[in-house]
Amino acid sequence: MAVQTTYDFDQMLSNAREAYGEELMHMADDGLEFYFTYTDNVAPSSSAGLFVKKYSERCFNFGIAEANQVGASAGLALSGKVVFAQVFGPFLSLRAADQIHTDIAYNDVNVRLIGTHAGVTAAGGPTHNCIADLALYRAIPNLTVVVPADAGQCVKMIRLSMEHKGPMVIRIDRGGSPNVYADNDYELRFGKAIETVAGTDLSIISAGSSVYWSMMGARILKDKYGISARVVDMHTIKPLDTDMILKCASETKNIVTVEEHSINGGLGGAVAELLLESGFGGKFKRIGLPDEFAVLGDPDEVYKYYGMDPEGIASRVEKLMNG
């Protein structure tokens, strides 16, 4: 059954980068013990910057040495504390891959790597796009990988991660994404997807900010084409909610994935692997960034260029469904 969503929220924006810092402050004020490591992109005026100022004894700045930061975070975690580490997302996956693999995952330590500026939200072009990270993270043992759909869900994940055993990547965008959920009064469990829109003709499985685009695309599909699209927030990429995916395959027969990531190796690849191994015979399509270095532009322009905006999603789904 679908949860309560805002849905008519076109201008209701949230900022996960600010929300996670505010939640760290709340958790510290509540007496929870953890360390925080960060890079120079934490502005003093931001919520994380205010947390650093108030709790400086538990915070460590590593400048622009991301690999060193990830390695040191593993060392801090070996002391028995949970560590939250904010790292610029493109550099987290590309520059600190060895440390994530060997220091964090191999030692199975309680580090929460908060990778910011996911997808193309950095708006800095190919060198600053974060489009291959999920493919890397999925292949590394012990890593739990979550992608909050909005700031409220990010807050829930930050708090819930204090109870989680082992390393985790929390992938968030630069900021300013629309709210998906009307409030935080819903159950969130790692590894358990959430149906945000009910539908019978196909299922759109998405994660992160793409959940919003998928929901709006589902509205267009219904109003313009008479197609009933279910939308699923697959907020946990690893471990994947295989039960939800197979349920969608059984009930709606057709599956589309939408993600702000390369179509290679991300959510779409994970879903396709499961469906093929289960004998799926319906229609399937991956919507995401193609196998190329993305064009330079504002994120909304990039989404439209690649057919990842609501109209693009609806058009591509309609072509899939009607041949």
Mean confidence (pLDDT) of the chain = 91
Distances (CA, A) of 61 to 17, 119, 135: 17, 25, 28
Residue 221's Cβ-side half-sphere holds a number of Cα atoms within 13 Å equal to 32
The domain locations on the chain are 14-178, 194-322
Q: Where are the beta strands (DSSP E) in 7-80?
A: 13-14, 34-38, 59-61
Terminal alpha carbon distance of the chain: 29
pLDDT greater at residue 132 or residue 119? 132
Whether residue 2 has pLDDT greater than 60 = no
CATH homologous superfamily for 14-178?
Thiamin diphosphate (ThDP)-binding fold, Pyr/PP domains (3.40.50.970)
Tokens 């399509």, residue?
285
200-234 residue pLDDT tens: 999 999 999 999 999 999 999 999 999 999 999 99
Two structure tokens written together for 5: 């969503």
Do 14-178 and 194-322 fold alike per CATH? Answer: yes
For 31: left if phi > 0, alpha if psi spans -120 to 50, otherwise beta; the answer is left
Percent of the chain residues past pLDDT 90, beyond the cut: 74
Whether residue 87 has pLDDT greater than 60 = yes
125-172 residue pLDDT tens: 888 888 999 999 999 999 999 999 998 999 999 999 999 999 999 999
235-281 residue pLDDT tens: 999 999 999 999 999 999 999 999 999 999 999 999 999 999 999 99
194-322 belongs to CATH 3.40.50.920:
yes
pLDDT greater at residue 142 or residue 44? 142
DSSP sequence for 179-237: P-BSSS-S--BTTB-EEEE--SSEEEEE-TTHHHHHHHHHHHIIIII---EEEEE--EE
Residue 305: pLDDT band with limits 50, 70, 90: very high
Distances (CA, A) of 249 to 33, 290, 323: 43, 24, 19
The number of angstroms, rounded, from the C-alpha of 258 to the middle of its chain's C-alpha atoms is 12
Whether residue 177 has pLDDT greater than 90 = no
Residue 7: pLDDT band with limits 50, 70, 90: very low
Q: What pLDDT score does 183 carry?
A: 80
The number of angstroms, rounded, from the C-alpha of 7 to the middle of its chain's C-alpha atoms is 19
Whether residue 101 has pLDDT greater than 80 = yes
Please tell me whether the overall predicted TM-score, pTM, comes out greater than 0.85 for this model: yes
